[in-house]
């Protein structure tokens, strides 16, 4: 009798871990859930199923999907869920993990198929939220909460990858040409303002020419190219020096008489 009592005691003792809940069936009927700790059951009459409440990471295998703009892509994702009602997860569905895996695959195919390729690549956050909301509506009756869904990988056909690369290259070339044209426009406006300034101040052009000569002389070149305006200036300077030299060799005019003296008689006219 003592041995039978010890055996019954051992069969009646159950330990529920902190992350688990125990669903107890008594003669086939649910009598409740057991919290973590040491729990006693009626041997043979009570049966307890342990349910984990931890978050489960479930990968969604790659799905071949045709987008709204008729592009074939392979999309894989990952879903995170946890059991919030242990009794429903045991009674309402046979295998909650397999059921969520299947509904996640079909939901992924349905949601991505409603979007174009560009939207699938650029609006992943919105697609993730749509998938999670649809799964939540379905799994709430199973006592399961889907906490997060993320698209993990999007595989494109090789032809589409090449087309997108060409499109990106053309877009960058367009932006480069636009920037170059804007630079040319700004440079032309600045040159126009500079030319107006030089026209108002003629010496500014000569100073610019001298600055160009200084810049040329930095490289210690043996050949110096004089701009045309500077050559004309040198010619004008030579004409000025010649004029001054001729003026210096001319005789000075006679000074007029002073102190009451009479003027010299005029020269006789020549016949």
pLDDT at 250 over 90: no
pTM reported for the whole predicted model:
0.60
pLDDT at 242 over 50: yes
pLDDT of residue 232: 61
Average pLDDT, the chain: 81
Neighbours of 50 (CB within 10 A): 16
Q: Greater confidence, 142 or 213?
A: 142
The pLDDT tens digits for 58-85 are: 998 888 888 888 888 899 999 999 999 9
User: Average of pLDDT values for 53-57?
Assistant: 92
The pLDDT tens digits for 162-216 are: 888 888 889 889 999 999 999 988 888 888 887 777 777 766 767 777 777 777 6
């Amino acid at each position: 009798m003592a041995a039978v009592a010890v055996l019954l005691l051992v069969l009646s003792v159950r330990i529920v871990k902190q992350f688990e809940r125990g669903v107890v069936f008594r003669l086939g009927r649910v009598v409740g859930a057991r919290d973590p700790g040491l729990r006693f059951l009626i041997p043979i009459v009570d049966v307890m199923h342990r349910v984990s409440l931890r978050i489960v990471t479930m990968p969604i295998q790659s799905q071949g999907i045709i987008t709204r703009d008729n592009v074939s892509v392979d999309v894989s994702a990952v879903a995170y869920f946890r059991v919030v009602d242990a009794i429903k997860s045991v009674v309402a569905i046979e295998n909650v993990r397999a059921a969520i895996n299947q509904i996640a695959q079909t939901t992924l195919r349905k949601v991505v198929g409603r979007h174009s390729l560009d939207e699938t690549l650029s609006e992943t956050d919105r697609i993730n939220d749509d998938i999670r909301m649809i799964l939540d509506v379905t799994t709430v009756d199973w006592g399961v909460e889907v906490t997060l869904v993320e698209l993990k990988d999007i595989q494109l056909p090789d032809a589409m990858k090449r087309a997108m690369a060409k499109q990106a290259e053309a877009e960058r070339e367009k932006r480069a040409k636009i920037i170059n044209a804007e630079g040319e426009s700004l440079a032309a406006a600045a040159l126009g303002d500079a030319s107006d300034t030089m026209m108002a101040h003629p010496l500014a052009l000569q100073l610019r020419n001298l600055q160009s000569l200084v810049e040329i002389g930095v490289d210690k070149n043996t050949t110096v190219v004089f701009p045309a305006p500077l050559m004309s200036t040198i010619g004008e300077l030579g004409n000025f020096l010649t004029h001054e030299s001729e003026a210096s060799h001319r005789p000075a005019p006679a000074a007029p008489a002073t102190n009451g003296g009479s003027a010299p008689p005029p020269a006789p006219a020549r016949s």
